[in-house]
Structure 1
Amino acid sequence: MTPYTTPNDLVLTKRGLRFQGQYFPCTIGKGGISSDKREGDGATPVGIHGIVGMLYRPDRIAKPADWAVPIRPGDLWSDDPHHEDYNLMVRAPYPHSHEVLRRADPLYDIVILTDWNWPRAEFKRGSAIFLHRWRRPVFGTEGCIGFRPDHLKRIAARITFGTRLIVPNSLIH
């Protein structure tokens, strides 16, 4: 896959994520890059993924972009492939498998949402691929892409309508 890209695209490369002429170091899924993403494989999926939203913790940081939505207490993300809410934001109480968005750690202080397997999720194709803060350099994610906090803030402030995340299959080992 060698799609036509623009400077406003987020392009994953071996050097990091290229965006608006800069390279940002990042972490990817601990399962590597995959052209056959599955729930729980820890892989970052190949493809051209639209940016469809941004969430942030208003009790911790300033609004990173005018279109960002606050993460409230009780906000969750369904990762239960057997439930109709699979790969959607839901509210507590929620008895099915989910991920807490309002975390005690700062990992999700900013969450940029992609359209991976969304809005009509396919069974076991994997739940959300987020762009979020990394735990530390070279520490793999569950499939998301992680960044240094200052880089994530810079990226979040500069994303525009039509920005895409591009993960080329040339990165598969």
Structure 2
Amino acid sequence: MSISSFTVRRRPGRPHEGLLLGAGPAIAVAIGQNGIWPLKREGDKRSPAGSWRIVRVLYRPDHGPRPITRLPCAPLRPDDGWCDASGHRLYNRPVKLPFSASHERMWRDDALYDLVLVLDHNSRPRMRNHGSAVFIHLARPGFAGTEGCVALRRADMRRLLARLSPDARITLLPG
């Protein structure tokens, strides 16, 4: 069964934990440390409410095989980054390192970006200071809150990737 849409909502009483619904049994996820909010701002530690298309999958080839998915998929490289400098012309875009402006390093030691789903949040049009590098990625132990992304266990991510249709969307519900 192919999944074209799924939803994440906050778990009651747990501002940085959520449930992913619509992909079979509910899946525990981490969300932004300050929950899900309609108006995303750079650095606010909130996941942006709304419906977002999954643009592509990135993966660390040295930490596992290419994931099984029908989404566009590409390996990460050690010099991959993502610009989070809101005044820069490449804001919320992939960049090559070294990069002089503020950026997120995609090749991480903590394994969070071993599997990354890139969302179209704040991409067309890009709006200054409305959030960058909002991804679906792997969770920290204990589902610690994210900087604004959605994070899953590795096994849940691999199962989800195998079932997503090429036009898949995620909806993040505030509250």
Fold match by TM threshold 0.5: yes
Matched, 1:85 2:81: no
SS of corresponding position for 2:159? helix
User: What is the percentage of aligned positions where both structures have the same residue?
Assistant: 36
Q: 1:63 aligns with which of 51, 63, 66?
A: 66
2:34 alignment partner AA = G
Give yes or no for the alignment of 1:113 onto 2:118: yes
Conserved 8 A contact 1:7-1:21 = no
User: Does the CA-based 8 Å contact 1:8-1:20 persist in structure 2?
Assistant: no
Amino acid at match of 1:43: R
Q: How far, CA to CA, are the matches of 1:8 and 1:168 in structure 2?
A: 17
Alignment partner, residue 26 of structure 1? 29
Q: Matched residue of 1:84: which SS?
A: coil
Question: Are the structure 2 counterparts of residues 7 and 56 from structure 1 closer, same or farther at C-alpha, using a change threshold of 3 Å?
Answer: closer
Aligned mate of 2:8, from 12, 37, 47: 12
Task: Return the structure number with greater strand share.
Answer: 2
Matched residue count:
165
Q: Distance in 2 between matches of 1:7 and 1:80?
A: 34
Q: Which residue of 1 aligns with 2:158?
A: 153
Match of 1:168 among 156, 161, 173: 173
Q: Is the 8 A contact 1:52 1:113 kept in 2?
A: yes
Question: The residue matched to 1:162 in structure 2 has which SS?
Answer: strand
Deviations 1:122-163 (A, max 9, x none): 000010211111112341000000111110111122211221
CA distance in 2, matches of 1:101, 1:19: 28
SS in 2 for 1:29: coil
Match of 1:40 in 2: 43
> TM-score scaled by structure 1?
0.89
The answer to whether the 8 A contact 1:10-1:166 is kept is: yes
- Secondary structure, aligned partner of 1:40: coil
Structure 1: which 5+ residue stretches go unaligned? Answer: 1-5
Taking structure 2 as the reference length, what is the TM-score of the superposition? 0.89
- Distance in 2 of aligned mates of 1:76 and 1:7: 29
